[in-house]
């Protein structure tokens, strides 16, 4: 395969889906308290009605609504209070026309009552005599059995991220364990003779392994896990050994820095050496992030990420996050704000261009300006709140345009 | 204190800050790999320069830039290649005028070189003879010592949420442990005779404890922790016991449902019984969420949340999340999108009004429509992606307006 025979992002995503759509992520059962941000691996079908009784939404009196018709503030209807529904208990008995039963918010409504009149619109004269000052309509202030969720209904779909609302639905159904996809497992290999870990002694010419820590935090934030991370020198055999380990242990193997000039030969050869599909593409039409390698070994996705932190993060988000979102059916909206651009932003014709930006809020409006910094600087990332994307066909962004800024 | 002597959200936030601004959250030292989403408890001051050597941003030759002046594609300058800088190693020796040293991307530049010419703009004729086809300017393709982060500089400020960029900065400084605020601790008490937990047998009139699970997931998402959760019946002594436990164990005690008509008396009395400041406010000018109680016992913040899931969540976000963001100095932007409203949204004069909405995307534009559902329904929450806020002075929103939707 030719070096830097670049492909578009859309094409790259297609190549990945074609080759890894059938990849099976395992599933597991987890407790609802540990399920936040996980992805449902099956439809959740309700085996009950929610609520499973007609419920009042106010403090008031359950009545037969026809009894209230004609009632006004000056000419109230008189009903007989025959008792109270107690919270958490079955309503005792029914009512007949002319009767009313006190029902608190959330309380069970007697089965033949057809509405609940708010306590504010009534007056209790003595233990039994209730004045009704207002007509109510059928079903007023009631939630009917199954109104919220019906028995047999698909309450949550496979692929749903277990967010706040999904947690609420599971709790309301009395479901405390749920089948989710196991956290996709990553193995991170940082390559390069110059890379040292945080606990190693620094010396001139060395740089700290920034990327694998940044990748680690993005992977965890996505609800995935890192099974291990390691640093290897530029050496074919050492790299081969680590990739082999990664392919064994993880679903996805990341090579950080492995697509730079110094090591891309090794990376290609190592990926090819597994005798599977090998290198699927080398070079993305993206700026920054061009020197990206995507390959396959023993059925596992291997991605060689660029060495600069910002490039590495952009490619991770554009390629790997996108793959997992599509693959697992996660449709959650990406965190973003709209902002007015305070500068012109150039594009790179034919490439998808990403600009890191700083945001400032003024009277509820966000303004975006480019984060300046030389290639490879970490402050280019740490001073930015998000990034702007310019599509392949666009001619850059003019100052004053409103654009979506994706938050980091 | 009068019941439902409602106060505005701004006033409520002020009351909380006045009473709990001095509350001390403990700090702890955590590993960088466990630090994501935590809040920095001290400034991080760099004790090194990043990079700590002049670094090349390209593959090329380190030269004295004056040597390139006048060079063109047709009349190249000829320099003598005197060696190579190896990745991760100190540059060996200096160059003098007329010399060039090969320097890979990320490699250390010899100390007296003043620029790096990209390999594409040169040609190596033999082992020593290098043709230069282009002039370069001072500092071209170089990151200077300390360009990224200077020794002695505040690299990250106290209060910063440890996001991707902060992780990158810590790694680049070789910092593997960091001082953060301990996760604020919550104790959740669900009150009500009708409330049963997920593992209890259902019977008519009972409902599942939805709110404490929803709160649990919001608390964890905020980077806080739940020390315990419990359900109590409507009984003064039982409630007193649990609040006492909560005040002992946690920083913040949440009473879910404890502000409803049935239990608000108990809640007020219990909070007052500690002999501290007691109830600070009862009733918020917010819709939904009015029956909220905020109090203090033994220095701890106690919040009685409304019983309906949506109300409970709105008050949690508006009051408690906001307090912790302000208190811990977290300035992260709330996840949001801008959307065109597809319906009119009514306001409640003098109240801050929240509407749950569903979002739909069309050609990159989001459209928001109200989530319909009766009070207390969980699907009102689970079918929504976010909410719209209408300020106290606003007169509702007209169909077609563009508004911020805060994502759940």
Side by side, the strands of the sheet bearing A185-191 are A225-232, A185-191, A252-256, A300-305, A293-297, A278-282
Chain A positions touching B383 (Cβ under 8 A) are 165
Chain A 339-358, residues with CB within 8 Å of chain B CB atoms: none
Contact B212, B255 (CB under 8 A): no
| CB of B194 less than 8 A from some CB of A | yes
Q: Give me the domain span that covers residue B170.
A: 28-48+157-181
Strands (E), B246-351: 252-256, 278-282, 286-287, 293-297, 300-305, 336-341
Chain A positions touching B333 (Cβ under 8 A) are 337, 359, 366, 385, 407
For A284, the token pair is: 């993305």
Query: Is there a single domain that holds both residue A168 and residue A250?
Result: no
| Nearest of B390, B286, B242, B368 to residue B6 by alpha carbon | B286
Query: Is there a single domain that holds both residue B193 and residue B317?
Result: yes
Contact B289, B318 (CB under 8 A): yes
Q: Which of B55, B86, B168 sits opposite A213 (nearest CB)?
A: B168
pLDDT value of residue A3: 46
In chain A, the residue whose alpha carbon lies closest to the alpha carbon of B109 is A205
Report which DSSP code applies to A94: -
Residue A41 sits in a domain whose CATH number is 3.90.105.10
Query: Is there a single domain that holds both residue A45 and residue A87?
Result: no
Q: What is the ipTM of this complex?
A: 0.90
| CB of B120 less than 8 A from some CB of A | no
Contact B286, B303 (CB under 8 A): no
pLDDT value of residue B349: 87
pLDDT digits (tens, 9 = 90+) for A227-258: 999 999 988 999 999 999 999 999 999 999 85
For A386, the token pair is: 């998000």
Query: Is there a single domain that holds both residue A306 and residue A348?
Result: no
Measured between CA atoms, how close is B8 to chain A, in angstroms? 20
Query: Is there a single domain that holds both residue A194 and residue A309?
Result: yes
**Which of A56, A87, A211, A212 to mutate to probe the B interface, most B CBs <10 Å?**
A87
CA–CA gap between residue B370 and residue B357 (Å, rounded): 4
- The count of other CB atoms within 10 Å of the CB of residue B70 is 11
In chain B, the residue whose alpha carbon lies closest to the alpha carbon of A358 is B333
Mean pLDDT of chain A: 93
Angle (nearest 5°) at CA B208 between B206 and B214: 150
Q: Which residues of A70-91 are buried (b: 16+ CB within 10 A; e: fewer)?
A: ebeeeebbebebbeebbbbbeb
B91:A338 CB<8 A: no
CA–CA gap between residue B181 and residue B39 (Å, rounded): 6
Q: Is residue B101 part of a domain?
A: yes
Q: How buried is B401 (Cβ within 10 angstroms: 0-12 exposed, 13-18 middle, 19+ buried)?
A: middle
Q: Is residue B89 part of a domain?
A: yes
Q: Is residue B151 part of a domain?
A: no
Chain B positions touching A86 (Cβ under 8 A) are 193, 205
Q: What is the mean pLDDT of residues A251-271?
A: 80
Measured between CA atoms, how close is A277 to chain B, in angstroms? 30
Q: Is residue A1 part of a domain?
A: no
| Nearest of A113, A64, A60, A107 to residue A86 by alpha carbon | A107
pLDDT value of residue A2: 45
Secondary-structure breakdown of chain A: helix, strand, coil percentages, each rounded to the nearest 5: 20, 35, 45
Report which DSSP code applies to B225: E
A36:B221 CB<8 A: yes
In chain A, the residue whose alpha carbon lies closest to the alpha carbon of B110 is A205
pLDDT 10s digit of each residue in chain B, 408 long?
444 579 999 999 999 999 999 999 999 999 999 999 999 999 999 999 999 999 999 999 999 999 999 999 999 999 999 999 998 899 988 999 999 999 998 899 999 999 999 999 999 999 999 999 999 999 999 999 999 999 999 999 999 999 999 999 999 999 999 999 999 999 999 998 899 999 999 899 999 999 999 999 999 998 899 999 999 998 899 999 999 999 999 999 999 985 455 567 788 899 999 989 999 999 999 999 988 999 999 999 999 999 899 999 999 999 999 999 999 888 888 889 999 999 999 999 899 999 999 999 998 899 999 999 888 899 999 999 999 999 999 999 999 999 999 999
B261:A105 CB<8 A: yes
Measured between CA atoms, how close is A384 to chain B, in angstroms? 8
Residue labelled with tokens 């540059």 = B91
Q: Which of A168, A174, A359 sits opposite B202 (nearest CB)?
A: A174
Q: Is residue B200 part of a domain?
A: yes
Q: Does residue B179 have a cis peptide bond before it, meaning omega lies within 30 degrees of 0?
A: no
Query: Is there a single domain that holds both residue A243 and residue A371?
Result: no
pLDDT value of residue A331: 82
Q: How many domains does chain A have?
A: 4
**Which of A141, A200, A377, A407 to mutate to probe the B interface, most B CBs <10 Å?**
A377
Cross-strand partners of A81: A100
| CB of A125 less than 8 A from some CB of B | no
Chain B positions touching A50 (Cβ under 8 A) are 378
| CB of A156 less than 8 A from some CB of B | yes
pLDDT value of residue A262: 59
| Nearest of A190, A224, A170 to residue A25 by alpha carbon | A224
Residue B319 sits in a domain whose CATH number is 3.40.980.10
A48:B192 CB<8 A: no
Q: Collect all residues with Cβ–Cβ distance below 8 Å to B302 and sequence separation of at least 6.
A: B243, B246, B247, B252, B253, B254, B255, B271, B293, B294, B295, B296
A193:B307 CB<8 A: no
Domain boundary pick from B328, B354, B387: B328
Say if residue A264's pLDDT is above 80. no
Query: Is there a single domain that holds both residue B189 and residue B299?
Result: yes
A165:B408 CB<8 A: yes
Domain boundary pick from B132, B166, B181: B181
Contact A388, A355 (CB under 8 A): yes
Q: Which of B53, B199, B205 sits opposite A90 (nearest CB)?
A: B205
Query: Is there a single domain that holds both residue A21 and residue A60?
Result: no
Higher pLDDT, A340 or A373: A340
Chain A positions touching B169 (Cβ under 8 A) are 378-379, 382
| CB of A265 less than 8 A from some CB of B | no
Domain boundary pick from A143, A167, A200: A143
pLDDT value of residue B124: 96
Chain A positions touching B217 (Cβ under 8 A) are 36, 163-164, 167
**Which of B57, B169, B198, B200 to mutate to probe the A interface, most A CBs <10 Å?**
B198
Cross-strand partners of B231: B190
Crossing angle, helix B211-221 and helix A164-172, to 10 degrees? 150
**Which of A154, A382, A385 to mutate to probe the B interface, most B CBs <10 Å?**
A382
Instruction: Give the count of alpha carbons within 13 A of A372, CB side only.
Output: 2
Report which DSSP code applies to B173: T
Strands (E), B318-385: 336-341, 352-362, 365-370
For B181, the token pair is: 């605020």
Strands B55-56 and B115-118: unpaired
Q: Is residue B152 part of a domain?
A: no
Q: Does residue A213 have a cis peptide bond before it, meaning omega lies within 30 degrees of 0?
A: no
Measured between CA atoms, how close is B233 to chain A, in angstroms? 10
Q: Is residue B4 part of a domain?
A: no
Query: Is there a single domain that holds both residue A208 and residue A196?
Result: yes
Chain B 368-397, residues with CB within 8 Å of chain A CB atoms: 373-379, 381-385
For A74, the token pair is: 């000056």
CA–CA gap between residue B384 and residue B369 (Å, rounded): 9
CA–CA gap between residue A312 and residue A316 (Å, rounded): 6
Chain A positions touching B335 (Cβ under 8 A) are 335-336, 407
Residue B116 sits in a domain whose CATH number is 2.170.190.11
B88:A373 CB<8 A: no
Q: Is residue A318 part of a domain?
A: yes
Query: Is there a single domain that holds both residue B403 and residue B350?
Result: yes
Query: Is there a single domain that holds both residue B20 and residue B119?
Result: no
Query: Is there a single domain that holds both residue A263 and residue A301?
Result: yes
């Amino acid at each position: 395969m030719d070096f830097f025979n670049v492909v578009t992002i859309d094409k790259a995503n297609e190549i990945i889906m074609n080759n890894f759509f059938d990849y099976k992520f395992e599933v597991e059962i987890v407790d609802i308290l540990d399920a936040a941000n996980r992805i449902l691996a099956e439809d959740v079908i309700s085996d009950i009605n929610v609520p499973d009784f007609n419920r009042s939404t106010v403090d008031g009196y359950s009545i037969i609504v026809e009894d209230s018709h004609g009632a006004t503030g000056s000419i109230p209807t008189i009903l007989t209070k025959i008792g109270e529904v107690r919270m958490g208990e079955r309503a005792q008995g029914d009512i007949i026309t002319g009767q009313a039963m006190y029902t608190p918010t959330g309380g069970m409504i007697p089965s033949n009552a057809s509405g609940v009149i708010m306590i504010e619109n009534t007056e209790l004269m003595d233990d039994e005599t209730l004045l009704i000052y207002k007509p109510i309509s059928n079903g007023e202030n009631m939630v009917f059995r199954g109104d919220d969720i019906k028995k047999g209904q698909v309450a949550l779909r496979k692929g749903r991220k277990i967010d706040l609302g999904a947690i609420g639905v599971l709790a309301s159904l009395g479901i405390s364990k749920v089948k989710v996809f196991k956290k996709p497992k990553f193995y991170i290999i940082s390559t390069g003779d110059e890379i040292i870990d945080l606990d190693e002694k620094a010396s001139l010419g060395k740089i700290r392994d920034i990327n694998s820590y940044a990748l680690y935090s993005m992977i965890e934030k996505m609800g995935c896990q890192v099974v291990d991370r390691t640093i290897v020198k530029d050496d074919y055999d050492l790299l081969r050994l680590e990739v082999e380990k990664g392919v064994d242990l993880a679903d996805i193997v990341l090579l950080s820095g492995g697509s730079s000039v110094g090591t891309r030969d090794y990376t290609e050869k190592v990926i090819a050496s597994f005798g599977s599909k090998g290198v699927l593409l080398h070079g993305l039409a993206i700026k920054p992030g061009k020197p990206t390698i995507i390959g396959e070994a023993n059925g596992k996705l291997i991605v060689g990420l660029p060495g600069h932190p910002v490039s590495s993060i952009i490619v991770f988000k554009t390629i790997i996050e996108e793959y997992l979102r599509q693959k697992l059916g996660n449709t959650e909206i990406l965190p973003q704000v709209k902002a007015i651009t305070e500068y012109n932003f150039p594009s790179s014709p034919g490439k998808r261009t990403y600009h890191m930006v700083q945001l400032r809020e003024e009277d509820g409006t966000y303004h975006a300006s480019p984060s300046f910094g030389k290639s490879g600087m970490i402050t280019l990332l740490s001073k930015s709140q998000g990034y702007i994307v310019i599509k392949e066909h666009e001619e850059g962004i003019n100052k004053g345009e409103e654009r979506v800024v994706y938050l980091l």
